[in-house]
Chain A
Amino acid sequence: MNEEITLESFNHLVELAALELTADEAEYLRAQLNQQLLAIHQLSAIPLEADVPAAAHGIAYTAENSQGPRADEWRPYADTAAILGQVPEMDGGYIVAPDVPHTTLE
């Protein structure tokens, strides 16, 4: 198996991604990631001249097809209670979440 993503780097990725995985999931996902990277490596074989620009979209946005910025207008939503009613935990109009852990930056 391709091991470009080692167990150590995989665990670091999982931490950054804020995911909790079972052991089976972790094994499957790391194997799939390494398989996908083999396919992705085809990209490195493509001759790319220095002047090839990166494309944010396939379609070019020009004066003809661009909207331009819309007016910055406030549009009140009629039923904010319905939206706030979907919050998992509320208290006195505040969204409740557990404490943010303190970490010391190195």
Chain B
Amino acid sequence: MELCDLSAYEMSRMVRQRQASASEILASCLERIARVDGRPGTLDAGEITAEDQQRVHAFLNVTTDRARSQAIAVDRHVAAGEDPGLLAGVPVAIKDLFCVKDTLTTAASRILSNFRAPYSATPVARMESAGAVMIGKVNLDEFAYGSSNESSAYQPCPRNPWDTTRVPGGSSGGGAAAVAAGEAPLSLGTDTAGSIRQPAAFCGVVGLKPTYGRVSRYGLLAFASSIDCPGPIARNVTDAALMFQTIAGMDPADSTTAANPVEDCLASLENGIEGMRIGLSPDYFRITFFNPETGEAEQQALPDEIELSVRRAAEVLRGMGAEIIEDVPMPNTIYAIPAYFVVSRVEAASNLHRYDGVKYGRRTAQPVSDLNQLYRKSRGEGFGPQPKLRILMGMYVSAAQYAEQYYNRALKVRTLIRRDFDAVFDRSGPYRLDALLTPTTPTTAFPLGAVYGDSVLMQYADQLTVAANHAGVPAVSVPGGLDQNSLPIGIQLIGSDYSEAKILRIARTYEKGAQDEPWRGMKPAALRAV
């Protein structure tokens, strides 16, 4: 095993015990990037070549010099006998939606292609203070608007390391692909409708969406401010806990961060789940989707392989001491996507108005006669189709004459979705769940080009994840098997407010209970030749 394939926990332990240096670990990750990643995404990238089709393309920008300086600093701390921090020498890949001081921070959009962040986002600063080494910025859907990474203005877009003809998911697809391919053991992502959990599921890694407000959004380029959650992507549950523990907690720079203390996730991780109540809901074993032919909503069962993976996980957890509660009702799950279409677009439109070509970012080079023309041309050239769609829909559904019909109604539906979760986690209610166990996604990774362009179908990739975003509750996706095409299947654990320690503990227990299953030994295809 190469150093880059070790867990973050093990890397940090080895650095602190002087069994490996931060510089050696960084060199191993850089070598892996050189072997599997291919050319980084760029604007106006030209044709996608046969070589491109074999590569992962997770990174937009590998910050080698900065990373080497940080690794040397960690090694000096260790040599001086000082505490190098919980993430000592651990390379982390940052979704290019977070400001990192003096680095390009593009949101994978042409309109920010020249923007250098003047400060670092709080989660990034906290990881760097804990000894992490920022190895680079990873690609995403433009402004995080998508579930496949294909909408990035920077091409080639990331590909799934398990099958490079397929998408890695999104919007944190670059991060999930980088972690799965051993390019970095950790990645900082964001989750607004499933953007950490869905790519984690597609790429066979662990992704945690924390409780809303548990991790600071300071320095994050906003998508939907009432839902956005930064969180970890990792190769195992312990690493996700380690990173979560580092980045979580109150931040005066983000007034929505919660003031209550963060539970020690690592301390309780190995404590088991004896007596915990874990629910299965029929509302998560079917998808409700809009049929464009008939104009009607239709229901469809999930693929058998996905439902079976969840039921197998339930049996593993039962065997480890949990009580499995069947038939838990989550009736408002089916409205999560329509409500999200409204809430997220209104907030996205509001957040995108600041990009106008005047103060920073890209300004049109065409001659203009007045300020309005400058705005229209700069925004017309700078935004791709997904930001434009969100701006237009957000403005339409929040217009005075439609606000009651659409926006205010969607906010009320959010209350109904929240009530579903309150009812099943209520300690004096009939279900008294510690967690809900569900599939993460309705399908495994789909082929590039199969869905992109149909914005409605693409949104339904988030149907099983987005309800947790509306409710604000934490959820984690962990690998739960492989399908007949050897593509990863993700299973999801959803908990009550601020119960990250508990759902990570359940996830870790499942990981241990399933450790001997044959699929655990499988590697992504992109690594088999390495």
Contacts and interface: CB of A to CB of B under 8 A. Distances in A.
A92 interface: no
Interface in A52-102: 52-59, 61, 64-70, 77, 79, 82-83, 86-89, 95, 97-101
A39 interface: yes
A18 B379 contact: yes
Interface string B333-364: 01101110110000001000000111111110
A54 B412 contact: yes
Interface in B381-416: 381, 383, 385, 388-389, 391-393, 395-397, 405-406, 408-416
A61 B358 CA distance: 36
B255 A42 contact: no
B356 A67 contact: no
Given A36-B341, A40-B406, A97-B371, A13 B392 contact: yes
A98 B406 contact: no
A86 B340 CA distance: 34
A57 B473 CA distance: 11
27 contacts: A13-B392, A13-B395, A17-B388, A18-B356, A19-B391, A19-B392, A20-B377, A29-B385, A33-B389, A36-B455, A39-B341, A41-B338, A43-B409, A44-B405, A48-B416, A52-B415, A54-B408, A54-B415, A58-B417, A70-B252, A87-B358, A87-B359, A88-B358, A88-B361, A98-B374, A101-B371, A101-B372
B358 A58 contact: no
A18 B385 contact: no
Interface in B447-497: 454-456, 459, 469-473, 497
B197 to A, nearest CB: 16
Interface in B242-259: 250, 252, 255-259
Interface stretch (B8-16, B57-65, B112-120): B112-120
Given A77-B118, A95-B359, A54 B411 contact: yes
- Ranked 7 nearest A-B pairs via Cβ: A58-B472, A20-B380, A54-B411, A59-B472, A88-B363, A18-B375, A20-B376
Contact of A58 (B115, B374, B406, B471): B471
Interface stretch (B130-138, B263-271, B289-297, B322-330): B289-297
Nearest to B356: A18
Interface in A1-53: 2, 5, 10, 13-14, 16-21, 25, 28-29, 32-33, 35-36, 38-44, 46, 48, 52-53
B17 interface: no
Nearest to B375: A18
Given A36-B455, A46-B413, A88-B357, 8 more contacts: A20-B381, A32-B456, A39-B341, A48-B416, A54-B412, A58-B414, A58-B469, A86-B114
Interface residues of B, number: 85
B389 A29 contact: yes
A88 B411 CA distance: 38
B335 A33 contact: no
B373 A82 contact: no
B250 A67 contact: yes
B370 A100 contact: yes
Contacts of A44: 405, 409
A79 B101 CA distance: 12
B226 interface: yes
Given A17-B392, A39-B337, A87-B359, A98 B408 contact: no
A55 B510 CA distance: 34
Contacts of B375: 18
B363 A33 contact: no
A18 B388 CA distance: 10
B257 to A, nearest CB: 7
B211 interface: yes
B371 A42 contact: no
Contacts of A21: 380, 388
B418 interface: yes
Nearest to A99: B370
B67 to A, nearest CB: 21
B212 interface: yes
B19 interface: no
A38 B416 contact: no
B342 A43 contact: yes
B118 A65 contact: no
Contacts of A2: 295
B385 A64 contact: no
A35 B371 contact: no
Contacts of A28: 385
B368 interface: yes
Contact of A38 (B292, B337, B406): B292
